[in-house]
Amino acid sequence: MRDYKAIQWNKTFGDKQLLNDVSFLIREGDHVGLVGANGSGKSTLLHLIVEKDDLDSGSTEHASDFTIGLVSQETELDPNQTIFEAVYAGDSPKIKVVAEYERATDVLTKSPNDPKCQDAFAKAEQAMNAQDGWQLDTQIHTILSQLGFDDQYAWVKNLSGGEQKRVGLAKVLVDEPDLLLLDEPTNHMDFEMVRWLENYIKNYKKSVMVVTHDRYFLDRVVSHIYALDRGELTEYTGNYQTYLEKKAYAEQIAQATQGKKKKLYKQELDWMRHGAKARTTKQQARIQRFNTLKESIKDKPQTDDLKLDFDEERLGKKVVILDDVSVGYDERHPLIKDINLLVQNQDRIGIIGNNGIGKTTLLNTIAGKIPPLEGDIAVGETVKMGYFEQIPVDLPADKRVINYIQEEADEYRYADGRHLSAPQMLETFLFPRERHGQYIGKLSGGEQKRLYLLRVLMGGANLLFMDEPTNDLDIDTLTVLEDYLTTFSGAVITVSHDRYFLDKVVDKLLIVKDNGQWELYYGNYSQWLEDTKAQKKAMPKSAKPKTVENTSATAKTSAKPAKKRMTYQEKVDWAVIEDEIDQLEMAISDIQDQMVANGDNYEKLATLQQEQDAKEAELMEKMEYWEYLSELAE
């Protein structure tokens, strides 16, 4: 068995104990989700597994040829390589054979009549046959294509940070390690990429450990959850939803136990104050029990939950109006054209679309950070904007945490008369006093985002702009943020690829399409997805049935058919057509299940796609005929 075993791991960072005698076993084929608060040590744990960081103490057991691959949040690619060179840089003999074949193919394409090129290609082709490299070659092309790379000879240095991370992901997926470690893999991906990766990981035969804020992804790909909390690692069998159920039950038990401890503590405290005068052996034992209880309660704070409690200034009905607005950086080639949009009080609008299509540019234009190419934007007089940017521009690494918050306000005053000092505000955001003097650069990525969120919300905005707010925030923080946004009295406009976040928060979608087009949809992401699927299956009502015998009976669907009675054959068809439609729908569903199961087999996928297209065409034809017959049956 190709298992990975960690034995009594200990790791400290500064004065913080990240791992305290942690042991765990990842069995061959296990898919594990690693969850925990920002700064709890999730990324550190992944780095320890791949030996990019050192343990304070502990040991590891696995096979000598056991391979581990890490997709980290920060890529370490050589900027002077091409995508091809980065992805095909593995040590596997088969990868080297495929790489040589790809090089020979590229050279031959450029010089098809050169005998040397022809000879090199022939040798590469023979090696491919000998190593059976064709499936791997297809798989590599599929991975690159699904992750948005059509030109494998593009330079890494010319790619965006998100694109570089996807190249790093492609490289590790191609290597197919025994243990695949993924740290926030869905960041910088559009919906199609996330769905493809979801299916790929779900069908990955080897072991996986993933850190992600994408709860739908986590729920669909993992079979175990490891929860890291204050140095302790707890295992839950099941997916994310099962973990939530088990965790809720465990917390109920813990609260009941803690309640009993507190009651006993009060009794013991009363005894210590009034009855602990003679120090007999029995009383000494009781004093010891008191001290133990005191420590157990002190170690478990009454609450470690994030609290979002802010006032917003009153917002009038008029928030933002876009009138024939086009956005972009070149008037000749606008990214999005002729947008007409009314943003009202308490609107929750999500902006979605493929990567690089102009979503952040649109958000920046509405927020007044860049001017529109055309059209007018009117902002209401009562609007006070707050912008939670994807990459904070004013989060200096060399500034102390407390100073950063004090720049916004030394004290936060509520409308009801309450007031909290800057240190108290930090504590509500889970930054203990001993860390207020820490430099921002020493915080984890998620902690920096949480600090940035606090400062934005302290500004009292009644119109919030949020660009990929879920990136780098832990699930617990996201849950509290989502609950806050659903009751926020102002308006929210957000760019996000997080399906769960969009489902929970937004009630409108602005879908950015190709060629500058856009569409406004009333509903959340899952509703839009279902409607989109239904529209694809729906047949055009003006179409004519192909199997009707008497074509004089056909007419536009907006008019009554001229023919009042069915022929004998039409009656026979009417009796069985609904069963035939049901069978076709079941067949299409079965094909889709097979496509999910064969997500990494390009040739099989191509065959299944052809079968699905044929079945869907047949289904559309049947549906057209059914509509025609149903009108006759009336």
CA torsion, ordered 132, 135, 141, 142, to nearest 10 deg: -170
pLDDT tops 80 at residue 241: yes
pLDDT tops 70 at residue 28: yes
pLDDT tops 90 at residue 486: no
Arithmetic mean of pLDDT, 374-388: 92
Arithmetic mean of pLDDT, 63-89: 89
- Name the E strands within 135-279: 179-183, 207-211, 224-229, 232-237
Distance CA 180, CA 210 (A): 8
pLDDT tops 90 at residue 311: no
> What is the value of pTM for the model shown?
0.71
Q: What share of the chain is helix, strand, coil (3-state, %, to 5)?
A: 45, 20, 35
Arithmetic mean of pLDDT, 573-590: 80
Distance CA 72, CA 197 (A): 16
Question: What pLDDT score does 338 carry?
Answer: 94
pLDDT above 90: percentage of residues in the chain: 38
294: how many CB neighbours lie within 10 A of its CB? 15
Residue, of 524 and 577, whose pLDDT is higher: 524
Question: What pLDDT score does 515 carry?
Answer: 87
Residue, of 88 and 269, whose pLDDT is higher: 88
| Contact in structure between 40 and 54 (CB atoms under 8 Å) | no
Backbone phi, psi, residue 302, to 5°: -60, -35
Question: Of the given ranges (86-90, 104-108, 414-418, 605-609), which has the lowest mean pLDDT?
Answer: 605-609
3-state SS class at 492:
strand
What is the tens place of the pLDDT at every residue in 433-466? 888 999 999 888 888 988 998 888 888 888 999 9
Question: What pLDDT score does 605 carry?
Answer: 65
What average pLDDT does the structure give for the chain? 83
pLDDT tops 50 at residue 171: yes
For 408-437, the DSSP string reads: T-SEEE-TTS-EEEHHHHHHHTT--GGGTT
What is the tens place of the pLDDT at every residue in 183-205? 999 988 889 999 999 999 999 99
pLDDT tops 60 at residue 304: no
pLDDT tops 60 at residue 303: no
pLDDT tops 80 at residue 307: no
414 — pLDDT class (breaks 50, 70, 90): confident
Question: What pLDDT score does 324 carry?
Answer: 94
182 — pLDDT class (breaks 50, 70, 90): very high
Name the amino acid, one letter, at 505.
Answer: V
553: how many CB neighbours lie within 10 A of its CB? 19
| Contact in structure between 69 and 110 (CB atoms under 8 Å) | no
What is the tens place of the pLDDT at every residue in 122-134? 999 899 898 888 8
Q: In terms of DSSP H, where are the helices of 276-415? A: 281-299, 359-366, 401-406
pLDDT above 70: percentage of residues in the chain: 85
* Angle (CA) 501 505 511, round 5°: 80
pLDDT tops 90 at residue 431: no
Question: Of the given ranges (144-148, 219-223, 405-409, 485-489), which has the lowest mean pLDDT?
Answer: 485-489
pLDDT tops 70 at residue 361: yes
128 HSE (CA, 13 A, CB side)? 20
Question: What pLDDT score does 557 carry?
Answer: 34
pLDDT tops 50 at residue 302: no
391 — pLDDT class (breaks 50, 70, 90): confident
What is the tens place of the pLDDT at every residue in 250-293? 777 777 766 766 666 666 666 556 655 544 555 566 566 666 66
pLDDT tops 80 at residue 299: no
Residue, of 81 and 591, whose pLDDT is higher: 81
530 — pLDDT class (breaks 50, 70, 90): confident
What is the tens place of the pLDDT at every residue in 539-564? 555 444 443 333 333 333 333 334 44
* Angle (CA) 500 502 506, round 5°: 140
* Beta strands 374-379 and 318-327, pairing class: antiparallel
583 — pLDDT class (breaks 50, 70, 90): confident
Question: What pLDDT score does 444 carry?
Answer: 83
